[in-house]
Amino acid sequence: MTKQVVFCDFDGPIVDVSERYYQTYRQGLQAIASIHTRATEKALPINPLSKHHFWQMKQNRIADIEIAIRSGIPANWFEPFIQQVQKIVNHPSLLLWDRLQPSAQAALCHLRQANMRLVLVTLRHPQQVNAFLQQRGLTHLVDAVYGIADTNAAYVNRVEQKCELLAKAIAQQTAKGYQTQDSWMLGDTEADVIAAQTMGLCSAALTCGVRSETYLQKLAPTAMHSEILLAAQAVTQTAKLQVASLS
């Protein structure tokens, strides 16, 4: 029997990027405050949000400009602020804040035991993905990685870019003889859900990432789960039922 592919996003389902994004935001505020002081000889009274508040705003897709203004950045200083954020978010010292999601290893093992082929489709640079997996001894549980050479792509999270990448992954995996019909795409943002829907895959939206349950629900994914292990279990369960109904 041909192996069934499961497509999965990286940031959100597998990696908890919340602390890296928060630390980046804090460093961005500091940098703008000092540049502002140097340029105007006046201190900028910045007022950083708590991690909880910051992440809640990101999860509800509040625009970065609003987050900046609420933190004390004047509107005309938003452009340098966001440039600073995008410049440092992939710095090695900030990448160190990336954490493995608590159930990610168990989920990857579960898919492997169910004889499924795990293909990562991510807007991260493949080198960053491979380094992270290697450091945690997880490389052998991932069958292929489709990434983007532009390190800014992940933060910007463009839907069209994800659609193109998923289309390429499906085409190449199908050409290699793997089963991609009835495949699932697991992810934590609109980019993943819309890409899955566009390509005719089932979509599982995970609420452990950068979007809230309320936000994801509006996109009408096939399923919603709080973490990747539950999604992996549901995917293998569906696959078993499909095999049973065919035999």
Q: How far is the CB of 101 from Mg ion (least distance, A)?
A: 11
Output 73 or 118, the one with its CB closest to Mg ion: 118
Between residues 84 and 101, which has the closer beta carbon with respect to Mg ion? 101
Supply the minimum distance, in Å, between the C-beta of residue 114 and Mg ion. Answer: 23
Cβ proximity to Mg ion, 82 vs 185, nearer residue? 185
For residues 191 and 235, which CB has a smaller minimum distance to Mg ion in the complex?
191
Residue 188 binding Mg ion, by CB under 5 A = yes
CB under 5 A: which stretch of 7-15, 30-38, 83-91, 138-146 binds Mg ion? 7-15
Q: How far is CA 71 from CA 20, 177, 218, in A?
A: 18, 52, 28
Widest distance between CA atoms in the chain: 76
Asked whether 20 and 98 are in contact (CB, 8 A), the reply is yes
Minimal distance in Å, beta carbon 192 to Mg ion? 6
Taken in order 120, 123, 129, 130, is the CA torsion positive or negative? positive
Cβ 209 to Mg ion shortest distance, Å: 5
3-state secondary structure of 196: helix
Q: Which is nearer to Mg ion, 71 or 207 (CB)?
A: 207
Rounded alpha-carbon distances, angstroms, from residue 180 to 112, 116, 149, 202, 239: 16, 11, 25, 11, 12
Q: How many angstroms separate the CA atoms of 116 and 200, rounded?
A: 19
Residue nearest to Mg ion (CB): 12
Site track for Mg ion across 8-27, x = CB under 5 A: -x-xx---------------
| Cβ atoms 5, 183 nearer than 8 A | yes
Q: Which stretch binds Mg ion (CB under 5 A): 128-136, 163-171, 182-190, 193-201?
A: 182-190
CB of residue 7 to Mg ion, shortest distance in Å: 12
Q: List all residues 6 or more positions away from 50 whose beta carbon is below 8 Å from its beta carbon.
A: none
How many whole angstroms from its chain centre is CA 93? Answer: 19
Q: From 3-11, 36-44, 79-87, 101-109, give the range in contact with Mg ion by CB under 5 A.
A: 3-11
Phi and psi torsions of 3, nearest 5°: -70, 135
Nearer to Mg ion, 116 or 129 (CB): 129
Contact positions toward Mg ion, by CB under 5 A?
9, 11-12, 188
